[in-house]
Amino acid sequence: MERATARLFDAMADDYDRLEPWYEHLYGVLHPLLVAAVTPAHDDGPRRALDAGCGTGAQTALLEALGYASHGVDVAPRLLARARGRLARAALALADVAALPYRAASFDVVVCCGSTLSFVDDPAAALRELGRVLRPRGRLFLECEHRVSLDLAWALLSASTGDSLGYGLSVGAAWRHLARGGASTVEYPGYGRLRLFARSELTAMLAGAGLRPLRWWGIHALTNLIPSTVLHRDRLGRWTAALFRALAAVDAKLARFPPTQRMANSLVVLAEKL
């Protein structure tokens, strides 16, 4: 799956930084949360941070701005080339998050966003690697695809109406994703296979990696009142755009509340190395 993921994202390289409405909202909420979660409380010497699945380096740049000596890894060579063009100081490497080229306890902070964990073959192994390279009491800031969300209901409706919304799922497949209690893997249009995580499953994987959750957030809960396939477009119609802006404003304010987290499309967690 790593090679398929590399090909998928290399094919997106030229347009990767032109964000669709879906990603504009995701990163508009995510980046302030990241900054608040990992800003050093005091200056006690050089700090190192890793952006695992760095893409073109958006989160790596944030870490640099916070004063970290920043490193980034990704499996897509063309995305890394673009990251190198925007980041003069960061150390960037072509690597899989499940096999990191660093010694144990190398970093104070690890960031893993852009649904990176949802694309790896063995997410439990990847989390163990992220935990391995963290120093004791170091922090992991993780964002991944959530199994429970309104978007799966849209996928079922789409399947029941001749795939009118373009999710590409049969009725049976959409229903199985909705009814299944644990993790699920879904074929998403334009993105291939995505692993969707239940919060309980992710908590168990974090524990297996020696990590303790400190805080949770949910993004794209209310905005999922609009199907994600509609929001994965360069432009929205006038009325859809107005509705989306209103939903996004409320969604951002509710990101930290548990009811929002339970039905959000993107699950975010801040964890600490034990």
Spatial separation of the C-alpha atoms in residues 78 and 268, rounded to whole Å: 27
Residue 188 pLDDT: 82
| pLDDT tens-place string over residues 159-189 | 999 999 999 988 888 887 777 655 678 888 8
What percentage of the chain carries pLDDT values higher than 70? 97
Q: Which of 203, 204, 28 is nearest to 113 (CA)?
A: 28
Of the candidates 68, 71, 63, 72, which has an alpha carbon nearest to the alpha carbon of residue 47? 68
Helix axis angle for 123-132 and 199-208, nearest 10°, is 40
2-148+195-273 CATH: 3.40.50.150
Unique residue bearing structure tokens 């347009």: 15
pLDDT of residue 256: 95
Please determine, for residue 274, whether its predicted confidence score (pLDDT) is greater than 70: yes
d(CA 58, CA 85): 12
Mean pLDDT taken over the chain: 93
User: Would you say 197 and 261 are in contact if contact means Cβ atoms under 8 Å apart?
Assistant: no
CA distance 265 to 274: 28
Q: Domain locations in the chain?
A: 2-148+195-273
Q: What is the pLDDT of residue 215?
A: 97
Q: Tell me the H-state helices in the chain.
A: 2-11, 21-38, 58-65, 77-86, 123-132, 150-160, 171-179, 199-208, 228-231, 238-253, 258-263
What's the mean pLDDT in 84-113?
Answer: 96
Task: Please tell me the predicted confidence (pLDDT) of residue 170.
Answer: 87
State residue 185's pLDDT score: 85
pTM of the complete model: 0.95
Residues 200-211 have a mean pLDDT of: 96
Q: Which residues make Cβ contacts (< 8 Å) with residue 56, sequence separation at least 6?
A: 13, 16, 17, 79, 82, 83, 86
User: At 34, is the pLDDT very low, low, confident or very high (cuts 50, 70, 90)?
Assistant: very high
Q: Residue 158: its pLDDT value, please?
A: 93
How far apart CA 117 and CA 194 sit, in angstroms, is: 9
Half-sphere exposure of 242 (CA within 13 A, CB side): 2
